Structure 1
């Protein structure tokens, strides 16, 4: 299984290297259209290789997807936390009730009685 994982990662690395080599040309990335930049008097642009722009776009998309999914699952995490508290409370109550039931008895007799009650 580990070999398959490394093979897939290696194939992905080769594909990314091929995309990077095929898209080495420089492109100008602008933060806003020329008309808006002319009105505001700000020209925010940067020149980067195209593969950097492509990979940055993919990375930003993946991060936005992870954030979106994390926010969407918030209600499930809250419910899980509440259920965990309830389970812990019930386990503590059950333990307390067992101790009260067998208080003053010999431990071996209490264990045998529990075993017989469980059948």
Structure 2
């Protein structure tokens, strides 16, 4: 399985390098369309290779997806956390009951706790 993982990573790296070499030309990335930028008085832009824009877009999309999924699953994590706390409290209570911090002078409890073979 380890060799399959390394082969997959090598193939992925080869594909990314190929995409990078194929898209080396410098492009101008503008914040706003030209007409709106002139109207607003903002002409922010940057020139960079196309492969950097593509890779940065993929990374930004992955990060946005991870954050969105983390926020979406918040209610499931909170329910699981409260269930774990309740389970721990019940286990603690059961352990306390089994250790015998009960009154053994009660005849009814003594009958209930005595195994049937000893009666």
**Normalising by the residue count of structure 2, what TM-score does the alignment of the two structures yield?**
0.82
**Normalising by the residue count of structure 1, what TM-score does the alignment of the two structures yield?**
0.82
Unaligned runs of 5+ in 1: 105-112, 114-119
Larger radius of gyration: 2
SS at 2:43's partner residue? coil
Q: What RMSD, in angstroms, separates the aligned Cα atoms of the two structures? A: 1.8
Q: How many residues align?
A: 105
The Cα of 1:101 is off from its aligned counterpart by 6.1
Unaligned runs of 5+ in 2: 105-112, 114-119
Residue 86 of structure 2 corresponds to: 86
The Cα of 1:41 is off from its aligned counterpart by 1.5
Give the Cα–Cα distance (whole angstroms) in 1 for the partners of residues 39 and 102 of structure 2. Answer: 84
Residue 109 of structure 2 corresponds to: none
Give the Cα–Cα distance (whole angstroms) in 2 for the partners of residues 84 and 65 of structure 1. Answer: 28
SS at 1:43's partner residue? coil
Alignment of 1:42 with 2:16, yes or no, is: no
The Cα of 1:103 is off from its aligned counterpart by 8.6
